[in-house]
Structure 1
Amino acid sequence: MNKRTISIIQELCIPEKSVSISELAGQFGVSQRTIRNDLNTINDILNENGIGELKLKSGGQIARDASFEKIRSFVSEGDFYDYKLSKEERVRIASVLLVTSSEYTTMSAIADTLFVSRATVINDLEEVKACVREGGLEVLSHPSRGLRVQGPESDKRVFLLKSADTGQDTAWQELVNGQIHVPEETGAVLQKIVTEQEHIHKCFLTDDSFQKVLLYLEIMINRNQQGEYIEVRRKNVSSKHPMAQDILKLISQYCHIHTTEDEVQFLSELLSMARYTRQKSSEKNAVKLQFITRQFIWQISEEMGVNLNGDYDFFENLSAHLESVYSAASPGYPDNPIIEEVLKENREVAAAVRKKLPILQQYTGQPIEEIELGYITVHVCAALERKKNKEIAFHVIVACHAGIGTSQLLLERLKKHFNFQIVDIISVHEAKNLEPQKADFIISTVPLADCRLDYVIVSPLLNDEDYIRVGNKIDNLRNSRNLPVRAEEHEITARGLLEKLDPVIRETVPEAAPELLQKIRKVVGEYFHQNTEVETEAEPPYLHELLPPDHIVLDVECRDWREAVRRSGEILLDMGYIEARYIDAMIANIEENGPYIVLSPGFAVPHEGVEQGSIRVGMSLIRLSTPVPFGAEELDPVEFVCCLSAVDHKTHLRAFFNLVNLLRDENFKRCLRESSTPAEAAGIIEKFEYETAE
Structure 2
Amino acid sequence: MSLDQRSTAILSHLVNAESYVSVKEIMEKFKISRRTVYYDIEKINGWLEENKLQPVDKVRGLGFGLDQETAKRIPEKIELFKTWQYDYSAKERKGWLALYLLGRDSPLFLEDLAKKVRVSRNTTIEDLKLLKEEIERFHVKLQFERKSGYRVIGEEDDKRKAIVYYLSNVLPNEGWQTLLSKIPTMLNLADSNIEDRLNLFELEELKAVQTIVAESEKDLNIHYTDDFFYSLTFRLIFFGKRLTQGKEIRIDEVEKEVLTETKEYKAACKIAQKLSYVFHVNFPHDEILYITKHLLSSRVQSSQGVFQENENTETHVLVEVVSKMVTDFQKYACVFLKERDLLEKNLLLHVKPSYYRIKYELEVENRVAELMKEKYPDVFLLTKKVIHHLEQAIGKKVNENEIALLAMHFGGWMRRTGVTPANRKQALIVCASGVGTSKLLEHQLEGLFSTVDIVGSVSLREFETNEYQVDFVVSTTPVSRKDVPVFVVSPILTEAEKESLLLNVNALVGTDVKDKSISVEGLLEIIKKHATITDKEGLEKEVRKYFSKPNSKVVVSTKPSLHQLLTKEYIQIKKDVKDWKEAIRVGAMPLLEKGNITEEYVQSMINTILQLGPYIVVAPKVAIPHAKPENGVKKLGMSLLCLEEGVKFSQSKRHEVNLLIVLAAIDGETHLKALSQLTTMFSEPTNVNKLVHAQSIETILQTIEAYST
- With the shorter chain as reference, the TM-score category is 0.3 to 0.5
**Higher RCO structure (Cα 8 Å, ≥6 apart):** 1
TM-score by length of 2: 0.43
TM-score by length of 1: 0.44
